[in-house]
């Protein structure tokens, strides 16, 4: 028998489910020359007996999540809403210069980027002049169910060149509220990258020790946006970085269960502190009671046995 040199063509999607049931039949066809009618009949009988689903090996390759959930966080006035508009390529979030947060509640919008759905959730700004930190935190918590099944990244927006202690405190608040697990999902996004004026962002970070230490608390992940350029490539690069982070997290996203664990840990810590404070208060009360008893006893003794002067004649 003459050996053919042609390579077999890849199986089509529609033929995958027939592979295991028809492979032997096709071999038999090549060997003994079974007619086409017989092949059709044999395949039909096999298919009626059972349906076998076979996945192509290419389907086993793990790809990043098709849908990406991005939660924007940061202090008031850094341009979170404008950043959301850049990512989605359209003006969907209200963005303006203001001393108070333009976003009073969590707001979600999405767009299709390179064939995948990208959702952006804009959160109220931390250190808002019109709200307490606790009020803002409680509103940010509501962004978790809004981003169901959960955000793939907490994108901390910072304006380049304006890094202050409040930015560092913002991340500490996020980590405290959302738990230690949230550190695996935090990434810094610098805005106004045009201010670099040609300087490399990595050099800029490395030359600022305080900023570098801050980046380390965010697992060393950061990206930069040039607000003067509406170049979609910078968005693609950001999504690539998020994909790498998602892959590093085993394809997982931050979940409501993680938030519940964080809240339980916070509550347990509160109870521990309250217990310690109560125990300390009881110790102080006992010490004060003991001190009062000493003074009271001394006072009673003074009145019962007043001091007398005895004259002794020699």
Shortest CA distance to 157 belongs to which of 180, 181, 174? 174
Q: Is residue 72 within a helix (H) or strand (E), and if so which, with residue range?
A: strand 68-73
Angle ∠(205,211,158) on CA atoms, nearest 5: 90
Residue ranges of the domains in the chain? 14-58, 68-261
Degrees to nearest 5, angle at CA 140 with 135 and 141: 100
Within 10 angstroms of residue 66's Cβ, the number of other Cβ atoms is 8
CA 201 to chain centre: 23
CATH of domain 68-261: 3.40.50.300
User: Residue 275: CB partners within 8 Å, gap ≥ 6?
Assistant: none
- pLDDT, mean of each 10-residue run, the chain (314 residues): 43 39 38 41 41 32 67 87 91 66 76 93 83 82 84 91 84 84 90 85 90 87 86 92 92 80 66 76 80 74 60 48
pLDDT tens, residue by residue, 36-87: 444 334 434 444 333 333 333 233 334 455 789 999 998 888 888 889 999 9
The alpha-carbon radius of gyration of the chain (Å, integer) is 34
Q: What is the pLDDT of residues 232-257, one digit of tens each?
A: 899 999 999 999 999 998 888 887 78
CA dist., res. 222 & res. 156, Å (int): 9
């Amino acid at each position: 028998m003459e050996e053919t040199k042609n390579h077999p063509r890849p199986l089509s999607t529609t033929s995958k489910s027939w592979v295991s049931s028809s492979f032997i039949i096709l071999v038999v066809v090549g060997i003994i020359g079974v007619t086409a009618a017989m092949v059709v009949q044999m395949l039909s009988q096999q298919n009626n007996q059972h349906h076998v689903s076979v996945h192509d090996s290419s389907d086993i390759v793990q790809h990043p999540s098709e849908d990406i959930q991005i939660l924007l966080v940061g202090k008031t006035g850094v341009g979170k809403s404008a950043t959301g508009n850049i990512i989605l390529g359209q003006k969907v979030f209200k963005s303006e210069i203001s001393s108070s947060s333009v976003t009073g509640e969590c707001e979600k919008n999405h767009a299709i980027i390179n064939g995948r759905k990208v959702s952006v959730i804009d959160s109220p700004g931390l250190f808002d002049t019109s709200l307490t930190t606790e009020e803002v935190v409680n509103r940010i918590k509501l962004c978790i169910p809004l981003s169901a099944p959960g955000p793939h990244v907490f994108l901390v927006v910072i304006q380049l060149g304006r890094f202050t202690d409040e930015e560092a405190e913002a991340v500490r608040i996020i980590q405290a509220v959302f738990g230690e697990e949230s550190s695996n999902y935090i990434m810094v996004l610098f805005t106004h990258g045009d201010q670099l004026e040609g300087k490399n962002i990595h050099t800029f970070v490395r030359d600022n020790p305080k900023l570098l230490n801050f980046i380390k608390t965010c697992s060393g992940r950061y990206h930069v946006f040039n607000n003067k350029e509406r170049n979609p490539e910078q968005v693609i690069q950001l999504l690539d970085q998020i994909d790498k982070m998602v892959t590093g997290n085993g394809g997982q996203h931050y979940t409501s269960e993680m938030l519940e664990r964080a809240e339980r840990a916070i509550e347990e810590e509160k109870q521990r502190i309250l217990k310690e404070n109560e125990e300390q208060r009881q110790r102080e009360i006992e010490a004060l009671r003991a001190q009062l008893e000493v003074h009271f006893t001394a006072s009673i003794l003074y009145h019962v046995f007043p001091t007398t002067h005895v004259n002794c004649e020699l």
